[in-house]
């Protein structure tokens, strides 16, 4: 069985933490304050998020070998390559109405066939706008999907429809304070100085801090649990309760995996601002229990690179006009799949 249950859970846990970092940075939520000089990596995030404006380029690559699946090997499908890029900027100069813009590209290659999805995402305050510029050909629905191309749509965030904005602000404040009070990373090695975009940076090898991760995740779940109680969202409340219980019971097993994760960080010499993160990781596709003593599991490859630059430089991000509701459009075009509520 490809992706044993244990390896899948642990891989998702790690990707969740790194994915959280991406979301917090690009979304402008991460803003930890700390006096400890030991929190050098966390403080570089803080300085980045204090900026009114910055540009970013994020690149993710995944390679999954499929030779162990005989049915696919017979068809000449030996591996799948996936690549996603997100390039754009964040402008928080109007703190009541922050905005961002990202051009997104997803590329999939397997057995000589390639599929490309290109689009753009813009945010203005709580509003999200999306535009699909290119997508792979799909049978039966190709003509209908063509109607989506190069048109701006809005995506409704339902939790803001009924949520109390004051409570949202309190939640965000608590999350920032939670981040500020935890030492999540440890510097494992200093790798010298390097030039990035004509700026001298310090290069570090970084790992996770065991107690910091444990305390941070549990505290975060407690905050979310308390917020959901006020929202009376029973479905998500049960999910958070289960997540907290599972994390507490399985943390030592998860830590065996997380402690092996190391990534590189580049921090500006003059300003102490985070400039770049690179994480390379190979993950087994089978649990050791599924293998004989002579066998060795095939490994997938994961590569993440995040770059931050053009600090406080002017950028133009315009709010799309005459955007349509994506939900209503899909309900009209595909009523059997998305019936009206």
What CA–CA distances, in Å, run from 277 to 14, 180, 186, 187, 205?
15, 20, 14, 13, 10
Low-confidence ranges of the chain (pLDDT < 50): 1-12, 24-25, 27-37, 159-162, 288, 291-292
| pLDDT in the model for residue 306 | 95
Residue 194 tokens read as 């390097």
State in Å, rounded, how far the first CA of the chain is from the last one. 39
| pLDDT in the model for residue 331 | 75
| pLDDT in the model for residue 68 | 56
| pLDDT in the model for residue 287 | 55
Cross-sheet strand order for the sheet of 113-124? 185-196, 199-208, 262-268, 274-284, 299-309, 53-65, 79-91, 99-110, 113-124, 127-134, 153-155, 324-325
Domain boundaries, the chain: 5-333
Task: Kindly report the length of the chain.
Answer: 341
| pLDDT in the model for residue 288 | 47
Whether the Cβ atoms of residue 212 and residue 182 lie closer than 8 Å to each other: yes
| pLDDT in the model for residue 69 | 55
The pLDDT tens digits of the residues spanning 266-282 come to 999 999 999 999 999 88
| pLDDT in the model for residue 296 | 62
DSSP state of 338: S
| pLDDT in the model for residue 3 | 41
| pLDDT in the model for residue 258 | 86
Whether the Cβ atoms of residue 298 and residue 287 lie closer than 8 Å to each other: no
| pLDDT in the model for residue 173 | 78
| pLDDT in the model for residue 178 | 81
- Burial letters 134-152, b for 16+ CB under 10 A, else e: ebeeeeeeeeeeeebeeeb
> pTM of the full predicted structure?
0.75
């Amino acid at each position: 069985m490809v992706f044993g249950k244990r390896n899948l859970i642990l891989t998702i846990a790690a990707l969740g933490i790194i994915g959280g970092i991406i979301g917090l940075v690009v979304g402008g939520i991460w803003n930890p304050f700390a006096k400890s000089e030991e929190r050098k990596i966390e403080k570089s995030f803080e300085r980045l998020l204090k900026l009114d404006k910055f540009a970013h380029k994020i690149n993710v690559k995944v390679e999954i070998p499929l030779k162990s699946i005989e049915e696919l090997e017979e068809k000449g499908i030996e591996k799948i390559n996936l690549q996603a890029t997100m390039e754009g900027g964040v402008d928080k100069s109007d703190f009541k109405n922050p905005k961002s813009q990202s051009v997104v590209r997803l590329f999939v290659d397997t057995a000589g066939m390639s599929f490309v999805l290109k689009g753009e995402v813009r945010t203005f305050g709580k509003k999200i706008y999306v535009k699909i510029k290119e997508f792979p050909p799909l049978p039966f629905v190709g003509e209908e999907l063509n109607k989506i191309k190069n048109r701006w749509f809005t995506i409704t965030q339902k939790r803001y429809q009924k949520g109390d904005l004051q409570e949202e602000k309190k939640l965000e404040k608590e999350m920032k304070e939670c981040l500020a009070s935890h030492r999540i990373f440890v510097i494992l090695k200093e790798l010298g100085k390097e030039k990035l975009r004509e700026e001298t940076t310090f290069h570090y090898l970084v790992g996770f801090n065991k107690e910091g991760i444990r305390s941070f995740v549990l505290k975060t779940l407690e905050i979310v649990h308390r917020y959901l109680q006020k929202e009376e969202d029973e479905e998500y409340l049960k999910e958070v309760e289960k997540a907290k219980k599972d994390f507490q019971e399985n943390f030592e097993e998860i830590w065996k995996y997380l402690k092996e994760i190391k990534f590189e960080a580049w921090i500006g010499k003059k300003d102490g601002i985070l400039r770049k993160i690179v994480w390379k990781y190979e993950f087994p596709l089978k649990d050791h229990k599924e293998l004989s003593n002579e066998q060795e599991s095939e490994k997938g490859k994961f590569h993440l690179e995040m770059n931050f630059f053009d600090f406080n430089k002017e950028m133009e991000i315009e709010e799309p006009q005459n955007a349509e509701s994506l939900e209503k459009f899909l309900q009209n075009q595909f009523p059997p799949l998305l019936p009206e509520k």
